[in-house]
Amino acid sequence: EAGVAQSPRYKIIEKRQSVAFWCNPISGHATLYWYQQILGQGPKLLIQFQNNGVVDDSQLPKDRFSAERLKGVDSTLKIQPAKLEDSAVYLCASSLEWNFSYEQYFGPGTRLTVT
Amino acid sequence: DQQVKQNSPSLSVQEGRISILNCDYTNSMFDYFLWYKKYPAEGPTFLISISSIKDKNEDGRFTVFLNKSAKHLSLHIVPSQPGDSAVYFCAASGSGTYKYIFGTGTRLKVLA
């Protein structure tokens, strides 16, 4: 079974530029998550999708971050414009369903450096 | 407000001995807990879970204990192996939310 795929693996941009990350979840997983992990901290949930609908985006900085999951499969997370404090690893995860405590399966992450 | 805390940022253990990683939480509504292991440059990998209706769950060398009254859980690894060297995160979710709150992680180093 293929795991969660993410690209790119690394990205370096200057502040005020924009960037986009892509995620392909495990086949058949209805729920998709984007997390931000700042160095020395645990992953923090940014947004959670069930199929192509948003379940929770309460911690997504909506003035600069956006995410979509067209057709309920792949997802993209965008930051525009980026700030220095956005430097982090962005993790995508998927699970079978959101309304039961299923384990989440993580991709390798995208390490973003904002200079 | 850190609802899930791992107060030990690092731990070193000799190969073959027991590793005990601790996690405390503050929200009494949390009822499902997970442990993840993370190697450098990889995403976290699910290790073991426990529901609040249990106080212990075992899977091979890994056992998780839950003390609901103390709002504390621990992960025991016996015997510890060098390949267990990684960062371990605990995560908790509450009934009705199914949104996981992660701790800050504990870096385990198993010495050969």
pLDDT at A8: 97
What mean pLDDT value characterizes chain B?
93
Give percent of chain B with pLDDT exceeding 70: 96
d(CA A60, CA B61): 38
Q: Cβ(B46)–Cβ(B34) under 8 Å?
A: yes
Q: What is the mean pLDDT of residues A24-36?
A: 93
B27 touches A75 (CB < 8 A): no
Nearest to B75 by CA among B57, B92, B102: B57
B56-110 pLDDT, tens digit each:
999 999 999 999 999 999 999 999 999 999 999 999 988 666 688 999 999 999 9
Residue of B nearest to A101 (CA): B98
> Chain B contact for A48, CB < 8 A?
yes
Q: Is the pLDDT of residue A103 over 90?
A: no
What is the tens place of the pLDDT at every residue in B76-90? 999 999 999 999 999
Q: Is A7 on the interface with B (CB under 8 A)?
A: no
User: Nearest CA to A89 among A51, A56, A55, A40?
Assistant: A40
Three-class secondary structure of residue B95 per DSSP: coil
Rounded to 5 degrees, φ, ψ at B68 are: -65, -35
Q: Calculate mean pLDDT across residues A38-58.
A: 91
Q: For residue B4, what are the β-bridge partners? A: B25
A107–B contact, CB cutoff 8 A = yes
pLDDT of residue A72: 82
**Binning pLDDT at 50, 70 and 90, where does residue A70 land?**
confident
Round the average pLDDT of chain A to a whole number and report it. Answer: 92
List chain A residues with CB under 8 Å of B4. 42
A46 touches chain B (CB under 8 A): no
